[in-house]
Amino acid sequence: MSDKEFLPQYDAYVRERASDREREIDALSYVFFPRKEYIEGSIKLNYRHEFKNGYVFIATENEVGGVTILIERDGKPLVDLRTFLPNGYVFVSPTFLAALEGVPEEFKGNYFVNYDLRLVGIGDMRDPTAIFSVLHEIGHTASPQEETEEARTPAARKDKIARLSRRERAAWARAIKIARGMRHDYGIDLFENFDDFEEFKKVIYGTLLGHRFTEEIFAKEAHGLTKEDLKFFEDLFDKGKFSKDGPGKTTEQRAGSGNM
C-alpha cells in the first residue's frame, strides 16, 4: 500500500476509531503531522524555543540538510544533542533525504532512525512537545536494529508487533531519562511546558496510538479485525497500559521514577 493510499485511509480510520473516545482525540492532538512544504524542502528546519530560565532550544539545518540541535544560554552553546547519539549518527532533514535514492516516502518529513545509514530524521518542529520527539528518536538509537524479515504467519506478525511495542516504550524511557539528566546537570527543564506528568504522558500515548491504528489497518487489510485482534492491540498500546515495560515495571520506573 503506497503512502498516497495509506494516509487518507489512516485519517479516516483514526476518526472512526476515535470519534466517540474523547481521551484518544485528546492524545492524538499532541501528534503533529509534517507540512507538505517541509516534506518537499521549501520550508527549512528553523525552530527556536526559549525556556523560562533563559535557556534556548535551537534546531536548524544547513544547505545540504544536516541538522544541528543545541541548547544555548546567553548565546553560548551548552548542550549539543548529537552527543547523545552513538558514534557516527547525524541528524538530518528532508533536504538531506532528497539527495538519496530509495528513501521510503514515510520517512520524508517525519522522525525516524535509519540504522544502516546512521541517520536520525528530524520532523516538522512547530511546538515544544516536538523536543521530546527528538529525544524519543535518540532513544531508539540505543536499541539494536529490528530484524526486517517479513512476518509470514499471524503468530510471527503478533510477535513482531509486540517487539515494536517494547521498543517504543524503551525509547520513551530513554527520552525521559535524558530530559531528567539535563534538568539535574544543567537546570534545563524540558518538562516545563506540561502541567504535570499526566499531561506529558498524553504525548507518549498519542504516538503509541499512531502505531496501534497503523497496525490495526494492516491487520484489517490482511484478514479483517477480530475481537481477539483488537484486544491484542489494546493490551500493547492502550492508555494506562502503554507504560508497562516488563513484569511489574513501567516506562516511568525504568526511566528513574514515576513523575517529572
Q: Which domain holds residue 74?
A: 34-126
Name the more confident of 185 and 30: 185
Question: Which pLDDT band, with edges at 50, 70 and 90, does 21 fall under?
Answer: low
Shared domain check, 244 and 230: yes
pLDDT of residue 4: 57
Identify whether the C-beta of residue 121 lies closer than 8 Å to the C-beta of residue 97: yes
Q: Are 45 and 64 in contact (CB under 8 A)?
A: no
Q: What is the structure's pLDDT at 242? A: 42
pLDDT at 218: 79
Give residue 6's pLDDT. 62
pLDDT score recorded for residue 215: 81
pLDDT digits (tens, 9 = 90+) for 119-129: 999 999 999 99
162 and 254 housed in the same domain: yes
163-188 confidence digits (pLDDT tens): 888 899 899 999 999 999 999 999 99
Above 80 in pLDDT, residue 152?
A: no
What value does the mean pLDDT take over residues 124-153? 86
User: Which grid coordinates are listed for 260?
Assistant: 517529572
Query: Is residue 20 domain-shared with residue 40, that is, in the same domain?
Result: no
Same domain? 174 vs 260: yes
Q: For residue 93, is it within any domain?
A: yes
Q: If pLDDT is split at 50, 70 and 90, which confidence band does 247 have?
A: very low
pLDDT at 245 over 80: no
Higher per-residue pLDDT: 231 or 142: 142
How distant is the alpha carbon of residue 146 from its chain centre?
16
Q: 141 in a domain, yes or no?
A: no
Say how many C-beta atoms besides its own lie within 10 A of residue 31's C-beta.
17
Model pLDDT for residues 54-108, shown as the tens digit of each residue? 999 999 999 999 999 999 999 999 999 999 999 999 999 999 999 998 888 878 8
Confirm whether 245 is domain-assigned.
yes
Domain boundary among 72, 94, 126: 126
Statement to judge: residues 104 and 116 lie in one domain = yes
- What cell was used for 114? 535509519
Name the pairing type of β-strands 119-121 and 90-92: parallel
Q: Is residue 206 part of a domain?
A: yes
Structural domain contains residue 121: yes
Of 95, 126, 157, the residue at which a domain comes to its end is: 126
Whether residue 249 sits in one domain with residue 210 = yes
- Maximum Cα–Cα distance for the chain, whole Å? 58
Last residue of a domain, one of 77, 98, 126: 126
55: in domain: yes
* Per-residue three-class SS string for the chain: CCHHHHHHHHHHHHHHHHCCCHHHHHHHCCCCCCCHHHHHCCCCCEEEEECCCCCEEEEEECCCCEEEEEEEECCEEEEEHHHHCCCCCEEECHHHHHCCCCCCHHHCCCCEEECCCCEEECCCCCCCCHHHHHHHHHHHCCCCCCCCCCCCCHHHHHHHHHHHHHHHHHHHHHHHHHHHHHHHHHCCCCCCCCCCHHHHHHHHHHHHHHHHHHHHHHHHHHHCCCHHHHHHHHHHHCCCCCCECCCCCEHHHHHCCCCC
In a domain, 59, yes or no: yes
Domain co-membership, 24 together with 152 = yes
- What is the number of domains present in the chain? 2
- The one-letter amino acid code at 56 reads V
